[in-house]
Copies of this chain bind each other. A is one copy, B any other.
Amino acid sequence: MGSTDRIKNVARRVAKWHDAGHQIVVVPSAMSGETNRLIALAKEVQNPPDPRELDMIAATGEQVSVALLSMALQAIGKAAVSYAGWQVGIRTDSAFTKARIQSIDDKRVRNDLEQNRIVIITGFQGVDDDNNIATLGRGGSDTSAVAIAAALKADECLIYTDVDGVYTTDPRVVSDARRLKNITFEEMLEMASLGSKVLQTRSVEFAGNYRVPTRVLSSLTDPLMDLAEEASSGTLISFEEDTDMEQAVISGIAFNRDEAKITVMGVPDRPGVAYHILGPVADANIEVDMIIQNQSVDGKTDFTFTVSRNDYNRALEALNAQQAQIGFSSLVGDAKVSKISVVGVGMRSHVGVASQMFRTLAEESINIMMISTSEIKISVLIDEKYMELAVRALHKVFELEKE
């Protein structure tokens, strides 16, 4: 939420839903720029800041915005009440700045809803077993909203964002990318984790685990737009069996431009080789994505994996420091590679998606460096310079521009 004018607009939108007879719980984010301001203040005093104390500070941003929204609703004649996470029993673990929600006590909220009050709850935060405030980290308000919706068994969780839904691919790359009216949780998870950052991955996981139908829609529309129109806008993330439409084979194409590839050459092929290579990388807090181990020749093998481009140099350093222990001959790297994935639950029942994908890339003379697959996703690693070309060609061949 931005200025107080934006808060008043949110209040009008919420009041519209309430007028239509819905019981409403709202989980607003902090005001625009507020969380950054608070973190900067903390770093002026201690850098890096103590995580527990940082959470005490960061949590205040949402505490201010819930109370402001409650007052904005009261100012237009609605009964409303705001709560900090600890006031409605949002329990987390003690991993300050990146805590996970463990449970929510819905009693107080249900009572308010029965009294026809609109309830506003701080996102992004809860308390651990010792009543220390713990925040969920960036984007945590989405996760809180889904978790609260799950605890209350809400009909739907509406996530208002700065985009109007989930697209078949990034419209900045493919101009006729199309907004999806429906997507399954599994597909959304693959899209989210592959770089289509509409929702925090964790909030999608939560929605999937607790079966909370979740709609991503735009906060930039007129708050008084027609309710029925708003209710069917955006993209509904739900379960496969919940969608009555004929499922498309492929739902979308996700990509991640900023990948890097590292090949560890001439490693002795013995048990534990993967652990010996990836251990030092993990110890440096670097996440590894795709992994391939080649067929061994003369007792030696090559081992290739990808990391985020930001972590490329640190990963090389971590490996070089362990060259003797790992016993590799050399490292070969490429920091200009990108990953492209076609995603769709429909591919489970359709053979030929992979061959269609590989043929399309071959026809464009794009070399595939690595392949990895899951039940509903095929990812390939290619030279960064062909990324846009590949996305466009795949978007076209799978006819994603068509309804």
Contacts and interface: CB of A to CB of B under 8 A. Distances in A.
A180 interface: no
Interface string A39-76: 00110111001101110110110011011101110110
Contacts of A81: 52
A67 B57 contact: yes
A335 interface: no
A32 interface: no
Interface string A294-314: 000000000000000000000
Contacts of A63: 56-57, 59-60, 63
Which of A41, A45, A132 has the most B CB atoms < 10 Å from its CB?
A: A45
Main secondary structure of the interface of A (DSSP, over half): helix
Total copies of the chain: 2
B66 A45 contact: no
B45 A4 contact: yes
B67 A54 contact: yes
Contact of A42 (B41, B45, B54, B68): B68
Contacts of A86: 86, 131
Contacts of A261: none
A66 B53 CA distance: 9
Contacts of A8: 45
Given A60-B60, A75-B46, A53 B70 contact: yes
A7 interface: yes
A4 B47 CA distance: 13
Nearest to A3: B44
Interface residues of A, number: 36
A58 to B, nearest CB: 9
A232 interface: no
A46 B72 contact: yes
Given A63-B56, A82-B56, A68 B45 contact: yes
Contacts of A52: 81
A86 B85 CA distance: 13
A4 B43 CA distance: 10
Counting chain B CB atoms within 10 Å of each CB, the highest count among A56, A75, A87 belongs to A56
Contacts of A57: 63-64, 67-68
Nearest to A76: B46
A56 B70 CA distance: 11
Contact of A41 (B50, B60, B68, B75): B68
A70 B57 CA distance: 11
Interface of A: 4, 7-8, 38, 41-42, 44-46, 49-50, 52-54, 56-57, 59-60, 63-64, 66-68, 70-72, 74-75, 81-82, 84, 86-87, 131-133
The 3 closest A-B pairs by CB, nearest first: A56-B67, A60-B60, A46-B71
20 contacts: A4-B44, A4-B45, A41-B64, A42-B68, A46-B71, A46-B74, A46-B75, A50-B71, A50-B74, A52-B81, A53-B67, A53-B68, A53-B82, A54-B67, A56-B63, A56-B67, A57-B68, A59-B63, A60-B64, A87-B132
